[in-house]
Structure 1
Amino acid sequence: MMPGRVGAINLPTAATLFDTAIGHCAIAWRGATVIRFQLPEASPAATLARIARRRAGHLDEEVREEKPTGVIAEAIAAIHAHLAGELDDLRWIPLDTGEIPQFHRAVYDVTRAVDPGHTLSYGQVADRVGAPGAAQAVGQALGRNPIPLIIPCHRVLAADHALHGFSAPGGIDTKQRLLAIERTSGFGEPTLF
């Protein structure tokens, strides 16, 4: 279960860049809760710029680069290890999802419950959030996921197990790489059953 707003709304937003096995990632947080995560862009500077950009409707938000401590430092260490193949479900990392629309939060809750090495289809996620037939809406919600990897949208596939669209930098190649790191089998090729 992901916590919503945890009293961090009035705290400043901090961010940092860190190197991983797949390149430089970035994380933004308020207090002890993660609010955004960024997979590697074309350069470390582009990754940091993306995580630091102001969100729509938050013109007063200033993101400052800081050295992480406490649970945020622990989260970075776990992400680093996960991307190096020491798998962690990352569910213990506290998130602030209070500003995310309710349907998206429901989709993210279901998605976050998928263990590394496993996948669901967009339709299965729709069924689990109580919206049968809403696979396209699930895909749209996952395309707007502000905290990829920690909310593992890469673990949601088309019904035929094919890798369709992935809005993170690197697109389908990044999705395929993350699934390979997690030793996920049966993706990328349609099955007969």
Structure 2
Amino acid sequence: MSQARYHHCIFETAGGFCGIAWSADGIIRFQLPTDEAAGTERLLLRRLPASTRAQAPSAFAETVEAVKRYFAGDAVDFSSVALDLDSQDDLMRDIYAAARKIGWGQTTTYGALARTLGLGPEAARDVGQAMARNPVALIIPCHRVLAAGGKLGGFSAPGGSQAKARMLEIEGVKLAPPEPAQASLNF
């Protein structure tokens, strides 16, 4: 019997049940919270090659504890967590490395993140696609990347944009409500 290349565990946080999957090189997938452990596991494994459930080894158990602290409202820095992004192309890895530098309670936009990489405005779409496909959301803080004008934008995790807004709220980010149409017409 061959040994599985990937392992995963499901754990409960104040935000719901999260999941984490790892290889020998680092975390390969992270699943943001859902209301049920089984649902979280299904979502985690949907885009993951064969994986077996296991107890997280100490290096990844520390990340599990950090995620629990995050959803309890503690400022947590995930920038040094070991990741396995070998399945990503060079541009995606560059985008993810830049996103990992966005600190707790800070935000940027897709376009601004593209500019930090020396890319033109057309690359904002590439940044958006990278955030939508982020295999380790939260650890690579895609929720901190907003649409043009600081608008919330989309979020492909369970709960969609509301989940993104809740995560930003945990970090103390206040998103301004959109201006009424009349205000923009000077009524």
Q: Greater helix percent: which structure?
A: 2
Where structure 2 has 5 or more consecutive residues not aligned to the other structure, the ranges are: 180-187
Aligned to 2:81: 93
Q: Per-residue CA shift, 1:15-74, capped at 9, x if unaligned? A: 00011111000000012510000012352211111212354xxxxx42000011211001
Where structure 1 has 5 or more consecutive residues not aligned to the other structure, the ranges are: 1-9, 56-60
Q: Distance in 1 between matches of 2:176 and 2:128?
A: 17
Query: What SS does the corresponding residue of 1:14 show, helix, strand or coil?
Result: strand
Aligned to 1:58: none
Q: Which aligned pairs between 1:97-176 and structure 2 lie closer than 5 A?
A: 97-133=85-121, 134-176=123-165
Check whether the contact 2:16–2:35 (CA below 8 A) recurs between aligned residues: no
Q: TM-score, normalised by structure 1?
A: 0.85
Q: TM-score, normalised by structure 2?
A: 0.88
Check whether the contact 2:17–2:35 (CA below 8 A) recurs between aligned residues: no
Q: How many residues align?
A: 177
Q: Does 1:24 align with 2:17?
A: yes
Q: Distance in 1 between matches of 2:107 and 2:166?
A: 14
AA matched with 1:153: C
Q: Distance in 2 between matches of 1:145 and 1:94?
A: 15
AA matched with 1:129: L
Check whether the contact 1:116–1:184 (CA below 8 A) recurs between aligned residues: no
Q: Per-residue CA shift, 1:113-136, capped at 9, x if unaligned? A: 000100001110010112121111
Structure 1 stretch displaced more, 168-177 or 85-94: 85-94
Q: Which aligned pairs between 1:76-91 and structure 2 lie closer than 5 A?
A: 76-91=64-79
Aligned to 2:184: none
Check whether the contact 1:54–1:62 (CA below 8 A) recurs between aligned residues: no
Runs of at least 4 residues off by over 3 Å? 188-191
